[in-house]
Structure 1
């Protein structure tokens, strides 16, 4: 059924990632293998040496481990918080393990999109910029809390397509 209506705040053409917060990345990967047969993961540790992070509007130095796999066209991302306070630790403490976000809602202008969403009452929880070897940003993302209306956070992003960076890992 096609819905008629007004112009959306932000036009989203696809969401291809499920971000799942876990307590123990290694144990979670084992569960995915034993329950679903998913056994090919790319694991990275994310910290301030490769990303610039803000959490609730302030610079943050938190770190986390991430495991990525492709299941058809769906990217599954397991996320284990390590040091400091960020959105994954906050989610884990409030809800336990589970679906944290759907992503990547690719937008041409991330700042413009998040400002429009914030003006409509959807706060940005965390932002990040992936840094290249000389410190330049080549991928930006923002977690926007849309749980009041949709039931989950959406990760908006601009820059390189995360599926391309996945291939380079």
Structure 2
């Protein structure tokens, strides 16, 4: 790639689970840390969120475990169509994506990945940044999350 994804931008491992409470407790026990807070994000119509090119409407429970310079994110999707539900239905529990912070190279990297055949699966915008899940699991065994900043 002309616009490389640097290892220094590795910020996240996201794991999709069927039971976030159980997973959060298990990770906490493994690391001997408090059980992380579980945020319940109910489905909402959000013009800044798409799934496979269409407006997305889904709920997601999320728990974050800070590990050094990166975070382990646990995701439990609801029944609505989403990248997380798609992954869980296809694979069961597992690593959904690796996240990379790439700064102002985000659009160039996304463009190159699309040229390589990796479609944007989900795009979300929030104040100050965005996230793009790139559909790379068939070739790489995992999807990529490309972010300008964390």
TM over 0.5: yes
* Alignment CA distance shift 1:11-1:100 (3 Å): same
Q: Does 1:57 align with 2:53?
A: yes
- Asked which structure has the greater CA Rg, the reply is 1
Deviating above 3 A after TM superposition, structure 1's stretches of 4 or more consecutive aligned residues are 46-51, 109-112
Query: What CA distance in whole angstroms lies between the structure 2 residues aligned with 1:144 and 1:83?
Result: 21
Which residue does the alignment assign to 2:132?
Answer: 142
Stretches of structure 2 that go unaligned for 5 or more consecutive residues are: none
Judged with a 3 Å threshold, the aligned counterparts in structure 2 of structure 1 residues 56 and 9 are, in CA distance, closer, same or farther, namely: farther
Distance change >3 Å, CA 86–CA 111, structure 1 → 2: same
120, 127, 130: which one pairs with 2:123? 127
Aligned partner of 2:110 in structure 1 is 114
Pairs aligned (count): 147
Greater relative contact order, per chain length (Cα 8 Å cut-off, separation 6+)? 2
Alignment correspondent of 1:167 = none
Computed over aligned residues only, the root mean square deviation of the Cα atoms, in angstroms, reads: 2.1
Give the helix-richer structure, 1 or 2. 2
Contact 2:12/2:98, CA 8 A, preserved across alignment: yes
**Corresponding position of 1:12:** 5
- Are 2:27 and 1:32 aligned? yes
Name stretches of at least 5 consecutive residues in structure 1 with no aligned partner.
1-7, 131-136, 163-169
Deviations 1:44-82 (A, max 9, x none): 233537783100011111120110111122311000102
Q: Secondary structure at the match of 2:140?
A: coil
C-alpha distance 59-9 of structure 1, shift in aligned 2 (>3 A): farther
